[in-house]
Structure formats: structure tokens, C-alpha cells
Structure 1
Amino acid sequence: MIFIELVLQNFGLYCGKQVINFDPKTDDKNSRPIILLGGMNGGGKTTLMDAIRLALYGQRAQCSTRGNLSYGDFLTQCVNTKTDPVEKTRIELVFEHIENNKPIKYRIVRTWEKNPKDGKDHLGILDIRQNDEWLDTGLVNIWDEYIENLLPLGISNLFLFDGEQVKELAEQEIPPPIVVEAIRGLFGLELADRLAVDLDILVNRKRKEFADTKDLANLEEIEKRLTQQQQDYQENEQNLENLKNQLEELEVKQQEAFDKFISEGGKIAAERNQLELQQKAKTAEVEQVRQLMCELAADVLPLALIPNLLTQVQTQGEKEFRHRQIQISKDLLIERDQRLLSWLSQVEIALTEVEKIQSFLVEDVDNLYTKSLQMEAPWLLADDETLSQLDNLIYHLQNSQLSAKEKLAIIKNKEEEIITLERQVQTAAAPEDYTKLRQALEAAQNQVVEAKANYETIRRRLADLESIISKSKRELSDYTVENIKYKNNEHIITSAAKVQETLKIFREKLTLRKLNKLEEEVKNCFLYLLHKSDLVHRIAIDTNTFGLSLYDFNGKPVPKHRLSAGEKQLLAIAFLWGLAKVSGHRLPVAIDTPLGRLDSSHRSNLVERYFPSASHQVILLSTDTEIGKKEVETLRENEAIAREYLLKYDSTTRQTRVLENQYFW
């Protein structure tokens, strides 16, 4: 089996459509086992592992973030936060395997939307033949059984595991439950356990068949009561399903009644009084603003009709004021010039120079006066106070104009609001129509409330019946050998006991045979990865707990605490590697954050020996501190890497993009 391609659309941190090519065959047609994906912690590596598990197993998938969530809630949690509500979340996984000695490709497609209907996704299996894809509906119906034959869920954790699993396996004396479950599935021990349960059921049936009259009557009474309770439960369960469907239909009718209530003016009719009050208030506001406009019109605002005249008067006043200033200054200048000439005649200055100065002063005064004569004759004859009042009037007029514009805009907006309110009132339903619409809506709402109450009553009844049925089952189980007198069942019970004992021995021998092979594989893998070849001579695995025990060349135990943290991790990886080899399945291996607390030598051994040899396809999801620059260069030099990707996480958008042909270095 080989994973060819993974497509994520709006899944987890991956917004939009992201495509990852897992094909170990490169452009030069050479096959290299490693697909390397680099990403920082929290950047989406574990999300990729969850996507592979989810594509393969759906509701049965053991994903990292599911916890105790229902499948529907888990699917909703997996939807990318930036996804448009109308878009769907999609996972596609293309894989190839050999069937009837021929390679066959399938594309697993799972789609769902936020809050998926019935809490399920939609599964499609596409058969890929010569680049054409067609839906195999028959395979969809038996997909769980089909994938169990290729990659059983019970042993999937031996091939799809992460650094936390390795860390937990390395630190504990006995393997964690998830690994124990995989070992039991690998050894086929669940078949023996199931047979033991079936034998217990058979013995209980025989006990009932040969019970005496009194005990048989008690048993039959309990069974009759239990049968009736189970029938009641099924009837109530069916009623609950019917009520659920009825409730959904009534909710649709309620929504239709509400939509009709809105579209035909029922809501407007209910709000008519409020709308009319708003209309009246808006009209009063408009009238108030109009009154303020009248006050402005009664003041200086009419002067806005003659702005040019006002400007002309203001300009003329300024000119006449300037003319008066010149007249006053001429007399003052003449007096000053006379004083200056008198003073000059007293000092020792030549007469010719004094005459030149006098000539200049006379000419200067004449020029000033000449400019004044060029002005038109004053006609406004306004004094300073009048001119000041004119300036104040113009300033006040400008403010009044601005105020008038603001009030006109207010009136326009208010009138538009009044028109809108009038239109809304006009669309309101007539009183008799409003009554019918309201009654229809209330009737639909009451039906929904009643249906919900009935649904809750039946649901509680089902919960009570579950408790009652459990109690009846416990009463049945209380009938032991001491309660029931057997007549002719000694042979059956004795035989069953012998079979149980034989089954126990068979289980132990099967476990031992499988464990012997596993012990050898784990030891070989551990020594292959370890740079201390003399540390361990033999590895033993406990038949009950599957815990590992190490022994040196002298047969003495090697305590696990004597191993360094890196050696413990190598031992855990060797354990998983050995389990994968013993399974006999030729499957891809995907490892999330694989290197952990390894020192340089252990890290080098793992990079050079384990990753290229773990499987024909090895998907590595690593941080920059695990497979660093040195390690990735070693893998490149050994031509072990087929493809490289960088999971680029943007902390501002909280989204991850898959960058092809890139790594940290």
C-alpha cells in the first residue's frame, strides 16, 4: 500500500485547497522512501496525521483532538475558522495497493459542512483507472470492512504514530493501552476473547433450559419483563424519531408562517402605532426647523439676496476711509516738513542742500495728494462706527447663511425619513389580515412548543427505560449455579469449562509463539539502531502486560532506568518497528515529531538507519530542531528523500500554507 496524494480543503489550520504529493517516485522515476514535511510546533503537523486517519476510518478514527466529542461536534471543530458558511470542508486521500496481482488506485473523499446534518460526513470512493475517476458506490457501502483488510484500525497505530506515543512508550514500564490494543489485534487475541464470551452466553442459555419450575418461572418472568421493556424502548425510540421528524417539519412551517408574516406586512402592522408616532415626531421636528428658518428670514438673511451690493459698499467704505487718512496725514506731513526745514536752516548745511531737501519734501507730499485726487469723490460718507457695523453685519450674514444651509439639509433628511415611514405604514397589513397572520404564526409557534415538549418527554422516558432494562439484565445475571438446579446440563457445563481452559492454554501458546518472533525482531531492530552493540543480548516481552525486559550477555537483567533518555526512545521505536515487521503488512509509515530527546549519535543512527528502512514509504513530520540542517543534508546525500514540504504557519491569520520543494534549509 502506498499513499499517493493528500488534499485538504478548509480543514483545521489549512484554509482553501492544499495539495500534498506523497508519491515516493520522483521525476527521474526513482523511488525514494522518505516524504519530509517540516513545520514548527502548532503549525499543522498533527492535523495532517489526523486527516489521514479521518480519511481512512471516518467515525472510527482515533484523532488527536477528538477526545470525548461526538463525531458531528468533532467534524465541526475541524472546519477552518475562515471558511465561508456555504463552503464545505473536504479531505481526499489517494492510495495504491495490489489487488489480484494488479495495482489499483482509489481516492477517498470525505466532505462535510459546519454542524453537519445527522452528525456525519459524506463518503465517496473514486476508482482511478487510466487517469479517469468513477464513483464506486458498492465499495462505499462496505468501506469499513474493506479498509480493515488493508490497514486494520487495531494495528494502524503501529504505522501512524507520533513522538508523544514514542515518548509515552519509552517512559512507561508497560506499553500504553493504545499499543496494547494494537498488539492484541496483531496477535489475533481478540478472537479468543470473543470465543470465551460466546461460551459464557451458551452456558447461560443451557442453565435456563434446565432450570427447575420455580427458578424457570422467575427467569421467564424476568425475561418476559425485559422483553416488554425492550419492546417499549423500541416503540419509544421510534416515536422519538417520528417526533424528531415532525418537529423538523413544524419548525419549517413556523419559519414559513414567520416569513409570510413579515412579507405580507404583519410585522409592520404590529409596529404601526410606533411608526405613526415616529412619523409625527419627525413632522414636529421638521416644523421646528422651519420655524427657525422663519426667524433667520426675519433677521439679516434677506440681505443674502444682494451680496454684490454689500461687498461694493464695504469696498467703498474702505476706500473713503483711506482717503480721509491721506488728507489728515498731508496736513501732518506739511507741519513736520516746516519744522524740519526750520531746523535745517539753523545747522551748518549748505543752502543748496536745504533747497534740494525742501524740493523733495514738497514733491513727496504732492505725489501723495495726487494719488488721493485720482480716487473718485466720496459719496458714502460713512463714519468709522458705521463701517464697523457693516463688517459685523456681513459676518453675521455669513453665519446665518451657513445655519440656513444646515437647516435645509436637516429638513431634507427628515422629509425623506417621513416618506420612508409613510411607505412602511402603507405596506402594513389591514387589521383583519394582520389578525389572520398573527394567529397563523402563533398557532405554528404553539405547535412547535408542544412538539418539543412531547420530544423531551419521550427522551426522558427512553432514559428511564435504559435504567430499567439495565436493572432487569442485572437480575438475570444474578442467577448463578447456586440459584438454578441443573438436571441434565452437567455435561454441557463441564465441557464448556474444559473448552474455556483449553482456550486459555491456546491463547497463552499463541501469545508465546508470536512473542518469540516479536522479541527477536525488537532486539534486532534495537541493536541496529543502537551504537552500543554490547548493551543488550536478549529482550523478553511479558505475556500479560507486554512490558519489555532487557538482559545482558551474562543473562542478568538490564534495568530500564539505566538506559539514557535517547536509548529509551530508540527502544520504543525498535518495539514499534518490530511490531510492524511481525504484522506482515506492507504499509506506509507516518511519524510525527520523531526525534525527541536523542543525542547526536542516536539521532544520526535513526536518520541513517531507521528512516530509510522503516518502510517503502516513510512520511516524516518534523520541527527544525529534530531533523535539522545536518540530518536533512545526510538524507539528501543518501538519496532517501523523494519530496520536501514546508508547513508555513502565519501567526497573524492563524493559517498554514503548504510550500512545495521547500524545507527549513
Structure 2
Amino acid sequence: MLFKTIELTNIGPYEGVNTFSFDTNDIKNTVLIGGKNGSGKTTFLNSVRLALYGPLAYGFRTYTESYLTTIETLLNNKAKNKAHSPYQIKLGISTVDNFERVSIEICRRWTLSKNTIKEHIEIYKGREKLSEVDKDNFLEKLRVTFPPSLLELCFFDGEDITKLSDEDNLSSYLKELSSKLFNLDLFQSLEDNLKRYLTEDSKSTDEIKLEEKREQVENELSNKIAELRHLETENERLKEQLEITKETYKKTRNEFSTHGGLLFDEREIIQREILEIENTRKIANEKIKDFIAKELPFFLGLPILNSLVDQLNNEEDYYISNIIGEKVNNISFEKITETLGNSFNLKQKEAEKLRDLLREELTNHNSVDILHNASKTETNQIHTLAGAVNYKRLESINKLINESNNDLNRLSILNKKLRDNIQTSEFSDMIEAMEIDSQKISEIETKLQKLMESKEELSIEIDQINKQYEKIKKDLYTIYKKKSSFDVTEKALMISQKFQKEQLRRKVADIEYFSSKMIKKLMRKENFIDQIHIDHESFEVSLTDEENKIINKTILSAGENELLVLAIIWGTLHSSNKEIPIVLDTLLGRLDLDHKATVINELVPRFGKQCIILATDSEITEDLVEDLAKFVTNYYTLNYDTKKKQTNIEKRFFNNAIEGEPIHEL
């Protein structure tokens, strides 16, 4: 991209219409603009930035209030006092689009209305005004291919060059400049996006849910396994306790058998029967409680349940009828006729009658209010529940209650008999001890039985959770498999990094070659610096002489350091082969006359197709102006009138009566 013209209308100190022409070519590549400090050079540069990038030129993304306030301060104060004064910046550029050179004109203008300011932008490609869509596309493409950061790297002033004389500043500057000029910033942007894709945006909603579910199931499985281990430990403890109690019981029983065996046998029979009845009643009571808690409410609400079943059946019939009706409507009698031949040839009217008959026979015409819209699973659950709520089930519970009551009466009789037996026994202490042990054995065995049931239930739960866990793992594996693009992304990332490294290595070698060539032309000391070396990773600069010995850079003067920086910058720009405008602002202030002359005669003519020099009268002497004349296409001087508070543009360089010859592109 090259600048062609810029027109400032009531911008800063530029009152009215002020035009600069930047038409340059391979031979005359320079535009020389003179101006003292405060004459409007900064406004000129800011206008270029503003025309190209609008809010981005000041670090704003959109037309914020702060941006518009900044613009308001940029507008010419005298013009503000006049009604309907125009304010605009019109920048003409030349660029290559689809291998064709095109002229673009960007016009940004502002309108003031009371306390508000509005910005308007128009873009012309040749003589054609771009539409809103094409305009947005052009600005976006400009932002990507020639971003504000690259433009800033093309603007050099003496202060910047002085700062770049510092090794750290030069290294970081070269790294950024190389990234922009060699288009590596596009790869770096791609890498950032790929890294974000791999780290942040890589998980789908389904994957996130499945991973959360997997973690939840893993925790549940871990808790269940811990619970099972606890039950197994408790089981071992109860078994050990049971063995000890049985041993105590056996010892007491043997002693009792020796002294009162007949009495013991009778008591043991009664006790065994009591234990059996108690266990039977315990199981029956649990079943009755379970029935009351889970089933009895549905028996009490049986009419409502039956009504629900009827409604679900009606809704299901309604859905099926609709589906069948839709199928009947879509029957193709033409295809049936083609299949069966002429023997089954229906006319349109007959076909419709047959369709109506099928619809009448196969579908339900009753109107149904859809209340539940239940799924197939929910409907099946209701039918299963309704099937379980029946008279036979009620009879079984009633029978269980009666049997439990009979067992209770039988238990009362046996307990009375046992008490009577104890009161008449001479061995009541032994009998009581055996009863306690016997009861304890029964309790432990009951606990063990329940423990075994709990273990079985827990094992079933663990098995089900394991199946669920395996399914989640399988689903996640499927997602991970589909995400094989991640592997491709990582490879692309690696290839991009490898390409950048290789590209930098080759380009840095070019920079070293061209910079070394230029520094020899610029330096007054012959053969002082033979080779400039630049590390392609750190961009650290080192110098060697003809004997390949390292030169201590601290011995360089301020002017020599500036020449070194200029040579490296030129070598970088020359290596890129990019068509970009170079702006040198008060660049020669710290150089002596000899070095100024070499910069003018050797460096400036080689600064690409367009070099815009902003200089003061003390910076470039008449002799230097004459040396530069063969490369200059246009001269301008910015004179600030302190009385009128405006900058006037003269088509010459200070008091040198030299006018530039306008050069027009072919």
C-alpha cells in the first residue's frame, strides 16, 4: 500500500482545504516536508492514521463518546465559529487487489450539531462508491492485512531511533517488525485461536454434561463400594460374635443336660417354636408396612387410577388414529395400480371413496382432550401399577394380617407355658442364661440375614452403576473419537511453529546480508563493521569485524548507533519486499554532516517506492537538499501563522525555491 494524496479540511491548524500529493515512483521515491516544531506535522501524521483506521487509530473499537470527544478537539477552532463548516480527511491510496493495482479513496467527514458530533465515511474504488457491505469488508481486510500496529512500525522519528539504540528495545522492535512484515503475525493469530480451541472451546455441551455425569457416577460408585466393604466388615464381626455366643450356649446346655436334660428338651422345643413365630411375624409386619406405605394410597384412589388409565388409553388411541389417518392420506393408489396392473384400476373418485372407507374403519373419530401427553415409558408404568392394584392383592394382604394375628395368639400361649416352666424349674439361672444366648443367637442370625440381603442389593446397585459408568465412558469415547480434529489441530500448531521458525531463520539471514551491506555504505569508518549478526529467536544483535572478531557495541557513538539501527530497519524492510510507505520524522538531528549525506544519498533512495521525510530547517541544509533533489517528487513547507493561528502550506522546502515535479503513475 502507498499513499497518493491527503486532503485536510478544517483539521487542527489546517484551515480550509489543504492538499498533499505523494505520487512517487522507483526513481523519485521521496516527498520532503519541512516544518518547525508546532507547525502541524503531528496533526498531519495523526490525520493519516485517522483516515485509515478511524476509532482504531486512538485505541477505540467503536465510535465511543471518548473517541468523538477526541475528534472534536482535533477540528479547527476557527471553523467551529462558522456555521456549516465542513470537516474532513480524504486519503488516496494505491494498493494491489487480486493482482491488480487499484486506487482507493477514503473520506472521513464529521458534522457538528449542537453538542453532538457524528462521523461519516465514504470509500471509493476507482470512481465507484462502495456499498455498506463492501465498505465494511474493505475496512476489515485493511485491518488484517495492514493493521495499525504495522503502520506505526513504518513511522520513524529521531526519538524512536534513539530508543532503539538500546539492545533490548531493538530486539523487541525487530521481533515485532519481522512478525508483521513477513506475515508471521497471521500464523501467531492462528496459533492463538488453535490454542483457545484446544483448551477452551474444545468441549461440546454433551461432552461437558457426560463428563459431569461421569464424575457424579464415579463418586456414587466409590461410595457404594465403600458401603459394601463396611457391610463385609460388619458381617465378619457378627459371624465371630455368633460363634462365641453359640460356644457359650453349647457349654451351658451341656452342663444343664447333665442335671436336667428332660426339662431342657421341652423348653428348647417351645423356644424354637417361639423364635420361628417371631421371625414369621416380623417378615409379615414388614410386608404389611410396605403395603401401607406404597400400595394402599392407590387402592384408596382406585377410581381416579382407573380414570387415569382410561384417559391414557384414549390419548394413545388418538395418537395412533392420527398416525394411521396420516398414512391413509399419503397412500399412493397410482403406485398400487402400477403394481397390480390394469385389474386394479381406480379412478380418482373411487380412490377417494376407498381412502374415506379406510379412514372410517381404521381411525377413531371421537374427540379426545389431551391432558397428560405421557411418554410410552410413563404410560407403561401406569398400566403396570394399575395391574398390581387388584382384589387378589388385597386378599393376600388380608390373609397375611389374619395369619399374623393367629401367630400372635399362639405366641402368647407359648410364652405363658415357658414362664410357667421357668417358675417350676430348679435350674432357672441356667435356663435364663440359655434363653438369653438363644435370643442373642437368633438376633445375630437375623442381622446376618438382613446384612446378606443388603449386600446382595448393594451388589446389584453397584453392578447397575458399573453398567451406567461403562455406557458413559463409551459415549465419551465416541465423542473423543469424533474429536480427532484435535490431533489435526495439534499437528497444524506444530507445523505452524516449525514453519515460523524456519521462515524466521531464512528471513533473518536475508536481514543480516542486506543490513551488513547497507552499514558499510553508511559508516564513515571503512571496514569497521564487516558483518551484522541477528539471532533468529531472541533477535539479539552482534557485530563482527573483517577478522570475525566480536565488536563491543558500547564503543559506538550515538550517531553510529543510529546508523546501525537504520541499516537493520532498512534490511528488514528490503527483505520483506512489501510495498509500504516509510515516514521519517526529524530523523537526522543527531547525525553529523557526513553521516547525514550518506543517509540522504545511500539510504533514502533505497527506502522502497515511497519515503516521506518530515524535517526541520536545521536538520537538512541546502547542500543536502540539492543531494536529495534527484530523489524528490514533491516539496512542502508547513508555516504556522501565530497571528491567524493556522498552518499554511508552501510548495517548497523552507527558503529553497525548488518546486517538485508532479509524477503520475502509469
Alignment TM-score, normalising by the size of structure 1:
0.52
Q: For 1:115-154, what aligned pairs fall within 5 Å after superposition?
A: 121-128=119-126, 133-137=127-131, 139-147=134-142, 151-154=146-149
Letter in 1 for 2:569: L
CA distance in 2, matches of 1:177, 1:71: 30
2:179 match = 184
CA distance in 1, matches of 2:636, 2:27: 17
Contact 2:154 2:583 in 1 (8 A): yes
Q: For 1:151-300, what aligned pairs fall within 5 Å after superposition?
A: 151-175=146-170, 180-197=175-192, 198-204=194-200, 215=212
CA distance in 1, matches of 2:146, 2:200: 36
1:40 to partner: Cα distance: 0.5
C-alpha offsets along residues 469-511 of structure 1, whole Å, 9 cap, x if unaligned? xxxxxxxxxxxxxxx9997559968887666555544432232
Letter in 2 for 1:51: S
CA distance in 2, matches of 1:103, 1:505: 33
CA distance in 1, matches of 2:610, 2:487: 52
Contact 1:211 1:486 in 2 (8 A): no
2:44 match = 48
CA distance in 1, matches of 2:117, 2:544: 51
1:5 match = 5
User: Are the structure 2 counterparts of residues 203 and 643 from structure 1 closer, same or farther at C-alpha, using a change threshold of 3 Å?
Assistant: closer
1:103 to partner: Cα distance: 4.8
C-alpha offsets along residues 181-237 of structure 1, whole Å, 9 cap, x if unaligned? 332222333344334432442355556766796745889xxxxxxxxxxxxxxxxxx
Percent of residue pairs identical: 28
CA distance in 1, matches of 2:117, 2:575: 38
Contact 2:53 2:143 in 1 (8 A): no
Contact 2:171 2:540 in 1 (8 A): no
Letter in 2 for 1:521: F
C-alpha offsets along residues 145-202 of structure 1, whole Å, 9 cap, x if unaligned? 3435774544323433333322221234333766543322223333443344324423
2:550 match = 557
2:654 pairs with one of 637, 658, 663: 663
Letter in 1 for 2:584: I
1:627 to partner: Cα distance: 1.1
Deviates more, 1:599-608 or 1:494-503: 494-503
Letter in 2 for 1:47: T
1:588 match = 581
CA distance in 2, matches of 1:150, 1:663: 37
CA distance in 1, matches of 2:48, 2:41: 11
2:19 match = 19
CA distance in 2, matches of 1:215, 1:597: 66
Letter in 2 for 1:21: S
CA distance in 2, matches of 1:71, 1:96: 28
Letter in 1 for 2:500: R
Question: Is 2:50 aligned against 1:32?
Answer: no
Runs of 5+ unmatched residues, structure 1: 220-483
Deviates more, 1:189-198 or 1:650-659: 189-198
DSSP 3-state at the match of 2:168: coil
C-alpha offsets along residues 627-649 of structure 1, whole Å, 9 cap, x if unaligned? 1222112223xx22222111001
Q: How many residues align?
A: 387
Contact 2:35 2:41 in 1 (8 A): yes
CA distance in 2, matches of 1:497, 1:486: 23
Contact 2:111 2:117 in 1 (8 A): no
User: Are the structure 2 counterparts of residues 78 and 563 from structure 1 closer, same or farther at C-alpha, using a change threshold of 3 Å?
Assistant: same
User: Are the structure 2 counterparts of residues 566 and 618 from structure 1 closer, same or farther at C-alpha, using a change threshold of 3 Å?
Assistant: same
DSSP 3-state at the match of 1:202: helix
DSSP 3-state at the match of 2:23: coil
CA distance in 2, matches of 1:574, 1:62: 30
Contact 1:10 1:90 in 2 (8 A): yes
Deviates more, 1:644-653 or 1:143-152: 143-152
Question: Is 2:601 aligned against 1:603?
Answer: no
DSSP 3-state at the match of 2:619: coil
User: Are the structure 2 counterparts of residues 119 and 547 from structure 1 closer, same or farther at C-alpha, using a change threshold of 3 Å?
Assistant: farther
CA distance in 1, matches of 2:186, 2:201: 21
C-alpha offsets along residues 328-383 of structure 1, whole Å, 9 cap, x if unaligned? xxxxxxxxxxxxxxxxxxxxxxxxxxxxxxxxxxxxxxxxxxxxxxxxxxxxxxxx
Q: For 1:345-424, what aligned pairs fall within 5 Å after superposition?
A: none
* Root mean square deviation of aligned Cα: 3.7
1:601 to partner: Cα distance: 1.2
1:516 to partner: Cα distance: 1.6
1:233 match = none
Q: For 1:436-475, what aligned pairs fall within 5 Å after superposition?
A: none
